[in-house]
């Protein structure tokens, strides 16, 4: 009986010892697995800078002006725009003068120009035809006078300018003046006003012009038309003949252009510009 009890005690002791050994091994394996996981875990994702995940670092900064990640980016509306070109005006709109004081557009349309100046331009042409210098004086710009240009390239250094009070005696003036240069030769156009009138100003009966135009060019030759550069806010009336002799096939065309600017809200004549086919 005693021996039997001794054997049972030995077996219980061996079973207890085996259980302790098993639990010790499991604990060691668990600690080893945990340590391995910590060693294998990377400090940051592959290809990402270490500072990217730190608060306040460049990885958390919003895009600069012009970026696409904020309200002020390139894809934002006009309220968020921080740069780029200003929106263009709608097609067909008229540009206002820079100073804002003058309400007239930069350039009148042909239809507007015709409504403004057609009647007055016809009166000026009629006065030139009649050589009514007193009437022409009333149309002349009181400060700028009238510039006479023998071709469509206005030369502010060479062209003759006549003041209003000089017009009445101009046709009878025997003094020769240089009005410009002859096309091709470049020789000076040295004539009295009466001669210049016959050869240039009213060489043709422009009161019976074949075509009239307002703020648009009909006659076009090799000479550069710079009227708009010299008189940017002017209204220009053109009286045009397409030709006179069929054998020249239109190469003998001629135009008279009257240039008007405002003075005290009244349109005044500032230039008489002749144009023709040129070499």
Residue 64: the pLDDT is: 37
Q: How confident is the model at residue 120 (pLDDT cuts 50, 70, 90)?
A: very high
Any domain includes 30: no
d(Cα 146, Cα 154) in Å, to the nearest integer? 12
Residue 279: the pLDDT is: 65
CA distances from 151 to 73, 88, 227 (A): 55, 36, 10
Number of folded domains in the chain? 1
**Per-residue pLDDT averaged across 52-79, rounded?**
38
CA distances from 180 to 152, 161, 175 (A): 11, 12, 15
8 Å CB contact between 173 and 139: no
Residue 7: the pLDDT is: 54
Q: How confident is the model at residue 92 (pLDDT cuts 50, 70, 90)?
A: very low
Residue 267: the pLDDT is: 98
Q: Which CATH number covers residue 258?
A: 3.10.450
Q: Which residues contact 119 (CB under 8 A, 6 or more apart)?
A: none
Any domain includes 77: no
**Which tokens sit at 51?**
């500072």
Percent of the chain with pLDDT over 90: 57
Any domain includes 92: no
Higher pLDDT, 37 or 14: 14
Q: How confident is the model at residue 103 (pLDDT cuts 50, 70, 90)?
A: low
Higher pLDDT, 44 or 15: 15
Q: How do residues 178-190 score in pLDDT, each as one tens digit?
A: 999 988 888 999 9
Higher pLDDT, 183 or 55: 183
Any domain includes 197: yes
Q: How do residues 18-29 score in pLDDT, each as one tens digit?
A: 554 444 444 444
> Per-residue pLDDT for 44 more than 50?
no
Three-state SS for 49-109 is: CHHHHCCCCHHHCCCCCECCCCCCECCCCHHHCCCCCCCCCCCCCCCCCCCCCCCCCCCCC
**Per-residue pLDDT averaged across 237-258, rounded?**
96
**Which tokens sit at 236?**
């220009």
Bridge partners (DSSP) of residue 141 are 145
The mean predicted confidence, pLDDT, of the chain is 75
Any domain includes 265: yes
Residue 221: the pLDDT is: 83
**Per-residue pLDDT averaged across 69-92, rounded?**
35
Question: In angstroms, how far is CA 23 from the centroid of its own chain?
Answer: 88
Percent of the chain with pLDDT over 70: 62
Residue 187: the pLDDT is: 94
> Is the C-alpha dihedral spanning 195, 219, 148, 178 positive or negative?
negative
**What pTM was computed for the model?**
0.63
DSSP code per residue over 187-234: -EEEE-HHHHIIIIITSS-GGG-SEEEESS-----SS---HHHHSTT-
Any domain includes 262: yes
Residue 81: the pLDDT is: 35
Any domain includes 46: no
Look-up of token digits 């009878």 = 172
Q: How confident is the model at residue 155 (pLDDT cuts 50, 70, 90)?
A: very high
Nearest to 227 by CA among 203, 259, 189: 259
Torsion of CA 90, 96, 100, 103, to 10 degrees: -120
Residue 185: the pLDDT is: 87
Domain range for 251 is 110-276
Any domain includes 230: yes
Look-up of token digits 């079973």 = 15
Torsion of CA 167, 107, 209, 224, to 10 degrees: 80
């Amino acid at each position: 009986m005693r021996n039997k009890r001794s054997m049972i005690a030995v077996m219980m002791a061996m079973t207890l010892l085996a259980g302790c050994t098993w639990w010790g091994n499991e604990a060691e394996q668990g600690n080893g697995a945990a340590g391995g996981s910590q060693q294998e875990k990377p400090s940051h994702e592959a290809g990402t800078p270490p500072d990217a995940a730190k608060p306040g670092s460049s990885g958390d900064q919003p895009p600069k002006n012009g970026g696409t990640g904020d309200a002020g980016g390139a894809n934002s509306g006009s309220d968020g725009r921080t740069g780029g070109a200003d929106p263009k005006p709608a097609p067909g709109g008229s540009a206002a003068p820079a100073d804002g004081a003058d309400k007239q557009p930069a350039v009148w349309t042909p239809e507007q120009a015709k409504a403004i100046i057609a009647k007055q331009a016809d009166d000026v042409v009629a006065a030139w035809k009649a050589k009514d210098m007193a009437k022409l004086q009333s149309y002349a710009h009181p400060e700028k006078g009238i510039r006479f240009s023998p071709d469509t390239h206005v030369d502010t250094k060479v062209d003759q300018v006549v003041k209003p009070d000089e017009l009445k005696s101009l046709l009878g003036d025997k003094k020769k003046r240089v009005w410009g240069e002859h096309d091709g030769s470049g020789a000076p156009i040295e004539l009295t006003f009466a001669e210049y009138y016959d050869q240039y100003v009213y060489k043709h009966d422009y009161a019976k012009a074949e075509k009239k135009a307002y703020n648009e060019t009909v006659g076009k030759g090799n000479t550069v038309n710079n009227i708009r550069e010299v008189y940017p806010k002017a209204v220009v009336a053109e009286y045009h003949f397409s030709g006179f002799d069929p054998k020249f096939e239109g190469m003998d065309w001629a135009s008279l252009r009257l240039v008007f600017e405002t003075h005290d809200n009244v349109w005044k004549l500032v230039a008489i510009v002749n144009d023709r086919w040129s070499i």
